[in-house]
Amino acid sequence: MLFSKKIAFIGSGNMGEALLGGLLKAELTNPENILATDIRDDRLQEIQAKWRVTTTTNNHEAVHFADVIVLCVKPQALRQLLDEIKNDVRDDQLIISIVAGITTRMISTFIGKKNPVVRVMPNIPAVVDEAASALCTGEFAADVHKAIAMKILGAVGEVEVVSEDLMDVVTGLSGSGPAYIYMIIEALTDGGVMMGLPRNIATRLATQTVLGSAKLVRETHVHPAMLKDQVTTPGGTTILAIKELEESGLRPMLIRAVETATNRSRELSHLLEKKNNLD
Ligand SMILES: NC(=O)c1ccc[n+]([C@@H]2O[C@H](COP(=O)([O-])OP(=O)(O)OC[C@H]3O[C@@H](n4cnc5c(N)ncnc54)[C@H](OP(=O)(O)O)[C@@H]3O)[C@@H](O)[C@H]2O)c1
């Protein structure tokens, strides 16, 4: 389905490159079908050398080229970008936005047209094709548009579909989540170092433990609590460590982290709406 679609990635930073690279690595499309833009020419030279796609600093050109426009700029750059390209946008073009906090309604209002809009919240492991993404559709998007977005995001990991009011929760869980896991890897490593392991070995063991445990949950579909019980011997080492984690409040701490990040995401989204006189 995607092979014939022309896709413009506007903003070729971490995420823009991860998404276009993911599509090419998965051989879902050819470099001729992709055009990448950025305001930095040196960045585009890197992208072009690595992925053999056409690049330009001219966003008008990119919009004229595309069937699908993927918005990959930072939230603060979006309004200006949409003002710049809105007259070039044709009604039939699908707009996919990965811009945090910007609703489909805001995008439709900024453009002033009834384009199908799909909003996505990916996360940084997209860079290694292990993203946890969620998407929602705007008022004018149909199943066919959702399917295209799922295919693009599916090239870099797992994709869930949610209603738009849950996108802030997605931000608080999987959008911000990699940072929580990096802290856990770092802390486990420190524990190993404190007890005598060389840091490089401790880092590798901690990292692989997180990766392997996640893989076991994903592949077996066994509830994490059951998997935990399976590795907890009566009177053994793990149950004592679990008691420490429970007493130190690991669970409520992580639950509160997701709650706090979700609330902050809501707050930032409202601020953006207010700033643009849309509330
Ligand atoms: N990174 C994440 O973990 C993550 C997760 C979920 C969602 N997102 C969302 O993904 C979006 C991109 O994030 P990122 O980490 O890829 O950011 P990034 O690395 O800063 O990439 C954005 C790129 O767009 C360029 N740009 C700015 N204005 C532009 C314009 N008018 N036309 C074309 N290019 C322009 C930027 O250039 P300059 O650097 O020169 O400004 C930069 O190279 C953000 O909206 C973010 O909310 C990111």
CATH code of 228's domain: 1.10.3730.10
In a domain, 263, yes or no: no
Residues 158 and 238 both lie in one domain: no
Residues 40 and 131 both lie in one domain: yes
**What is the rounded distance in angstroms from the CA atom of residue 88 to the CA atom of residue 122?**
27
* Distance from residue 162's CA to the centre of ligand 1 (Å): 23
Residue nearest to atom 21 of ligand 1 (CA): 13
In a domain, 108, yes or no: yes
Q: Where are the beta strands (DSSP E) in 124-272?
A: 131-137, 157-161
* Distance from residue 26's CA to the centre of ligand 1 (Å): 23
Q: Does the C-beta of 15 come closer than 6 Å to ligand 1?
A: yes
Q: Tens digit of pLDDT per residue, the chain (279 long)?
A: 556 899 999 999 999 999 999 999 999 999 999 999 999 999 999 999 999 999 999 999 999 999 999 999 999 999 999 999 999 999 999 999 999 999 999 999 999 999 999 999 999 999 999 999 999 999 999 999 999 999 999 999 999 999 999 999 999 999 999 999 999 999 999 999 999 999 999 999 999 999 999 999 999 999 999 999 999 999 999 999 999 999 999 999 999 999 999 999 999 999 988 887 766
Q: What pLDDT does 2 receive? A: 59
What residues make up the domain containing 40? 7-167
pLDDT digits (tens, 9 = 90+) for 29-45: 999 999 999 999 999 99
Residue nearest to atom 2 of ligand 1 (CA): 124
Q: Does the C-beta of 272 come closer than 6 Å to ligand 1?
A: no
Q: Does the C-beta of 75 come closer than 6 Å to ligand 1?
A: yes
Q: Does the C-beta of 82 come closer than 6 Å to ligand 1?
A: no
Domain termination site, one of 167, 185, 204: 167
Q: What is the CATH number of the domain that holds 20?
A: 3.40.50.720
Residues 163 and 108 both lie in one domain: yes
Residues 133 and 195 both lie in one domain: no
Q: Does the C-beta of 39 come closer than 6 Å to ligand 1?
A: yes
Q: Does the C-beta of 99 come closer than 6 Å to ligand 1?
A: yes
Q: What pLDDT does 228 receive? A: 97
Q: Does the C-beta of 178 come closer than 6 Å to ligand 1?
A: no
Q: Does the C-beta of 43 come closer than 6 Å to ligand 1?
A: yes
Structural domain count, the chain: 2
Residue nearest to atom 27 of ligand 1 (CA): 73
Domain termination site, one of 106, 141, 167: 167
Whole-structure pTM value: 0.95
Residues 246 and 108 both lie in one domain: no
**What is the rounded distance in angstroms from the CA atom of residue 216 to the CA atom of residue 218?**
5
Pocket residue to mutate for ligand 1, from 12, 15, 17, 37, most atoms within 8 A of Cβ? 15
CB-based contact 13:39 (threshold 8 Å): no
For residue 140, the SS3 value is coil
Q: What pLDDT does 279 receive? A: 65
Q: Does the C-beta of 8 come closer than 6 Å to ligand 1?
A: no
Residues 14 and 102 both lie in one domain: yes
* Distance from residue 14's CA to the centre of ligand 1 (Å): 7
Q: What pLDDT does 67 receive? A: 97
Residues 155 and 190 both lie in one domain: no
Q: Does the C-beta of 100 come closer than 6 Å to ligand 1?
A: yes
Q: What pLDDT does 274 receive? A: 84
In a domain, 279, yes or no: no
In a domain, 158, yes or no: yes
Q: Does the C-beta of 20 come closer than 6 Å to ligand 1?
A: no
Q: What pLDDT does 105 receive? A: 95
Q: Which of 91, 97, 93, 100 is nearest to 137 (CA)?
A: 97
Q: What pLDDT does 186 receive? A: 98
Residues 19 and 80 both lie in one domain: yes
Token pair recorded at residue 169: 């929760």
Q: Does the C-beta of 125 come closer than 6 Å to ligand 1?
A: no
Residues 81 and 214 both lie in one domain: no
Bridge partners, residue 8, by sequence: 35, 69
Q: Which of 248, 51, 169, 26 is nearest to 36 (CA)?
A: 51
Residues 13 and 115 both lie in one domain: yes
Q: What pLDDT does 242 receive? A: 98
Residues 230 and 183 both lie in one domain: yes
In a domain, 90, yes or no: yes
Token pair recorded at residue 131: 């993203």
The helix (H) or strand (E) run that includes residue 55 is: strand 54-56
Domain termination site, one of 132, 167, 202: 167
Residues 41 and 99 both lie in one domain: yes
